[in-house]
Amino acid sequence: MKLQCGDKTLDLTSPVVMGILNTTPDSFSDGGNLYRDTRLDLDSALRHADSMVNAGAAIIDVGGESTRPGAEPVSLAEELDRVIPVVEQLHARFDVVVSVDTSRAEVIAESAKAGAHFINDVRALQKEQALQAAAQSGLPVCLMHMQGEPDTMQQAPNYSKVVEEVIAFLKQRIAVCEAAGISRQQIVLDPGYGFGKTLEHNLLLVKHLDQLQTLGCPLLIGVSRKSMIGKITGAEVADRLVGSLALTLECVQRGAHIVRVHDVRETVELLKVHCAVEQAE
């Protein structure tokens, strides 16, 4: 399975790692790590990207607006200021797929001009003009399921049958994208762990992740350091590496193609061992 990302081809025959590069002061795990006083330090961002590429990341995912539970939205100007200079430098310096984690049409369009290869949208291209901007960019897109919005999504998540409802939503968004000119071959799906879901909802979506493969698109998962791991293990955010790796492996064994993580080196090693076992004859 291959995904055409602008001028780069991403081979998804084996699962690949997407390294997280949050250019935000308030993301739940690493917010503010790349800031000097109150301003984003571009050199620090590039050094962190370099370390992830050297550790084996196939994709670097740049996010300029936190989507943690309770997060407040940022202005368009602020998101552009956080994202576009980083995308330009990543495109110029590294042989890696550059992804942009955004829901705004303007950021999608400007990121594509700046050299981005992939659009990762937690709102599945539902914001105004986002669908059109993604279609015009010609880039592959990741459509994620989220119940509600980040500032309220964890207040009272409710489903009758969470797996079926997530699949139905993603199926509908695929149809909308295809109608807008985005081919199914350019669509990736994300069940949205932690986005408007209780621990039980998340666990069911992990257990039955293989059911999403019926939609015929690669699967992206993001469980790194999330609160669901803390609820299971009792570990604080900084101590969730082992839980993150365990949950990532559960997802990969059920068909995940792209894993979005903070801890790139450790996840790459995990996947090397997993693939060696799978390929043994």
pLDDT digits (tens, 9 = 90+) for 179-211: 999 999 999 999 999 888 899 999 999 999 999
Which has more confidence, 267 or 238?
Answer: 267
Please confirm, yes or no, whether 127 is among the known catalytic residues: no
Look at residue 151 and tell me whether its pLDDT is greater than 70: no
Which has more confidence, 119 or 81?
Answer: 119
Looking at residue 34, what is its pLDDT? 63
Looking at residue 63, what is its pLDDT? 87
- The number of residues making up the chain comes to 281
- Among 240, 234, 231, 232, CA closest to 263: 240
Q: For residue range 62-100, list pLDDT tens digits in order.
A: 988 877 766 677 889 989 988 999 999 999 999 999 999
Give strand pairing partners of 63.
22, 101
At residue 147 the predicted structure's pLDDT band, cuts being 50, 70 and 90, is: confident
Residue 173's CB is within 10 A of a number of other CB atoms, namely 23
Which residue among 226, 240, 265, 272 is the active-site one?
226
Looking at residue 28, what is its pLDDT? 47
Q: Which of 146-150, 192-196, 257-261, 262-266 has the lowest mean pLDDT?
A: 146-150
Which CATH number characterizes residue 154's domain? 3.20.20.20
Looking at residue 25, what is its pLDDT? 67
Q: For residue range 157-187, list pLDDT tens digits in order.
A: 788 899 999 999 999 999 999 999 999 999 9
| pLDDT > 90 fraction of the chain, expressed in percent and rounded | 76
d(CA 186, CA 16): 17
Instruction: Tell me the CA end-to-end span of the chain in Å, nearest whole number.
Output: 21
| pLDDT > 70 fraction of the chain, expressed in percent and rounded | 90
Q: For residue range 5-34, list pLDDT tens digits in order.
A: 999 999 999 999 999 998 876 544 455 566
Which residues form the domain of 181? Answer: 2-279
Find out whether 190 and 144 touch, Cβ atoms under 8 Å: yes
Find out whether 77 and 276 touch, Cβ atoms under 8 Å: no
Pairing of strands 97-101, 118-121: parallel
Please confirm, yes or no, whether 231 is among the known catalytic residues: no
| Residue 40, token pair as written in the block | 């984003």
pLDDT average, residue stretch 217-225:
95
Number of domains present in the structure of the chain: 1
Which residue among 123, 225, 254, 260 is the active-site one?
260
